[in-house]
Chain A
């Protein structure tokens, strides 16, 4: 009997540890009239872009609707910095900045955008996914540089849709090359992630200090990698054309475009 107990305890501990390292569905929030494409969090509110209905919507932490801002032209993957929402307007080829009072201004960019589809801000750095130009624009110390060109080779893009800047790298959702690519802040190619995963339209990304999250739009999957690019989990159940993923305070939020909902996962 004692031997059994000694054997069972480590087995139970093993499975309990296994479960904790995986993301598990906690709840699904029905957005009703909102078709989510991109998502961001400002510390108090969630902000969701609704490309189909040309609006931006804010929610409380409990997803109670707070405010709706209209008259955008296909808003896509948004970002927040200093309580301002940065909104790439795919149809208008501009980045609009929305402040807390609902006042809109336009981000000054020297280059011509063609369907901006994603933006990220990290202190004074800005990265923009420039969809039809097959490039990423990156601003550092008041200077814009262009990263990439149309193509399938390393460092080239086929319709980039999302970007994220970390302390060291720029991550790009290279949507129709079905991969993530990373670059240093000089714009030099570093690595490719996810090429072997048979992704079909990698539209949204989120990078934390431990993991890389990617939406596989057509295959209805969320792929989770470690920072070395090794796959650690694949979520396949209950997703319906996911476009964006956000990880905040140990919770993962997934925008399901077609299902018009946000799914919340936790570890």
Chain B
């Protein structure tokens, strides 16, 4: 069964490469952010497959860190980069 794991890893890596198309095309920032989220899931899956394949438990910790931090990017995105307010020069927020 472990013969299958490298194949699955290649599939997941191709998954990321194909998903890069969505980052390239957009059209909105939300689409690009969504694609970036998908990459985190695929990278976690790759790390977990490698962890079981090579018997390295440190890679599960790596996946754990990825999973924990994946929320941060989206929350920053909606709160800071794409919050829907454009700052004008007089310091007031307008919608």
To the question of whether A and B form a pair in one complex, the answer is no
By a beta-carbon cutoff of 8 Å, the part of chain B in contact with chain A is none
By a beta-carbon cutoff of 8 Å, the part of chain A in contact with chain B is none
